[in-house]
Structure 1
Amino acid sequence: MNERDLNRLVLEKAKQQVEARKAEREVIVQEARKPQPLPERDERPALWGLIGVLLTLTIAGLFLIPGNFTEKLSWVVHGVCSKEHTLSLGGTMMPLCQRNTGLYSGFLATIITLSLLGRGRAAKLPPLAIGIVLVLSVAWMGSDGFNSLLLDIGNYNLYTPQPILRILSGLAMGISMGSMLLFAFNISVRANARHDQRIIGSWRDYAILVAVAVCLFVLTQLASPFIAYPLAIFSTVGILSVMFIVNIMIIAMITRSENTVVRLSQLARPAIFASFMTAAEFGLLAWLRIIMERSVA
Structure 2
Amino acid sequence: MQALKRGWREQKNMAAKPSMPPPWIIILSLLLYLALLAGLVLLPGPSLLERLRWLDSGICAQMATHTFYPGGEPLPLCARNTGIYLGFIVSLALLHITGKGHAQQLPPGRLCAILVSGVILLALDGLNSLALDLGLPHLYQPHNLLRLASGLVTGLALAALSLPIINRLLWCEYSEQRSISSWSALFPFIFMLIICFFAVASQNIVVLYPLALLSTAGLLSALSIVNLLVIITISKREETFEHYLQLLPLFSIALLLSIGEMLILAQLKLALLHALGL
TM-score, normalised by the number of residues in structure 1:
0.85
Query: Residues 204-251 of structure 1: CA distance to partner in whole angstroms, max 9, x if unpaired?
Result: 111211111001001012232111111111111011000111111111
Helix, strand or coil at the partner of 1:199: coil
The reply to whether residue 136 of structure 1 matches residue 117 of structure 2 is yes
- Give the corresponding residue for 1:46: 25
Instruction: Measure the CA separation in 2 of the matches of 1:50 and 1:89.
Output: 33
C-alpha change, 1:68 and 1:42, in structure 2 (3 Å) is closer
Aligned pair in 2 of structure 1 residues 182, 295: CA closer, same or farther (>3 Å)? same
Residue equivalent to 2:224: 244
Q: CA deviation at 1:289?
A: 0.7
TM-aligned CA deviation for residue 91 of structure 1: 0.9
AA paired with 2:107?
Answer: P
Q: 1:87 to 1:33 in 2, by over 3 A?
A: same
- Deviations, residues 62-107 of structure 1 (Å, cap 9, x unaligned): 4669532211110010100012112111212110101111110000
Matched residue type, 2:87? G
Structure 2: distance between partners of 1:82 and 1:44? 41
Letter in 2 for 1:54: Y
- In 2 relative to 1, CA 291–219 (structure 1 residues): closer, same or farther, beyond 3 Å? same
**Contact 2:29 2:248 survives alignment (8 Å):** yes
More displaced 10-residue stretch of structure 1: 276-285 or 164-173: 276-285
Identify unmatched segments of 5+ residues in structure 1. 1-28
Deviations 1:41-63 (A, max 9, x none): 35422221211222333344446
Paired residue type of 1:79: G
Structure 2 partner of 1:26: none
Q: Give yes or no for contact 2:100–2:179 (8 Å, CA) kept in 1.
A: yes
Give the corresponding residue for 1:15. Answer: none
Q: Cα gap change, 1:65/1:124 in structure 2, threshold over 3 Å: closer, same or farther?
A: farther
RMSD over aligned Cα atoms: 2.1
For 2:252, what is the secondary structure of its paired residue?
A: helix
In 2: Cα distance, 1:235 partner to 1:292 partner: 25
1:50 to 1:130, Cα distance in 2 relative to 1, 3 A: same
> Partner of 2:142 in structure 1?
161
Deviations along 1:255-282, whole A, 9 cap, x unmatched? 1111111110111111221122111111
In structure 1, what is the equivalent of residue 3 of structure 2? none
Given residue 154 of structure 2, which amino acid in structure 1 is its aligned partner?
M
Are the equivalent residues in 1 in contact too, given 2:103–2:179 (CA < 8 A)? yes
CA distance in 2, matches of 1:193, 1:240: 27
**Which region of structure 1 is more displaced relative to structure 2, 237-246 or 44-53?**
44-53
Residue 202 (structure 1) aligned with residue 182 (structure 2): yes
Q: Is the 8 A contact 1:79 1:285 kept in 2?
A: yes
The question of whether the paired residues in 2 share the 8 Å contact of 1:261 and 1:267 is answered with: yes
The corresponding residue for 1:230 is: 210
Question: In the TM superposition, what is the alpha-carbon distance from 1:31 to its structure 2 partner?
Answer: 7.1
Q: Which of these two proteins has the greater Rg computed from alpha carbons? A: 1
Deviates more, 1:54-63 or 1:82-91: 54-63
* Structure 2 unmatched runs, 5+: 1-6
Aligned pair in 2 of structure 1 residues 279, 150: CA closer, same or farther (>3 Å)?
same
How big is the shift at 1:165? 0.4
Corresponding position: 1:173 with 2:154 = yes
Q: Say if 2:88 and 2:155, in contact at 8 Å, map to a contact too.
A: yes
Residue deviations 1:96-146, cap 9 Å, x none? 101111110000010011111111110011100001001101101011011
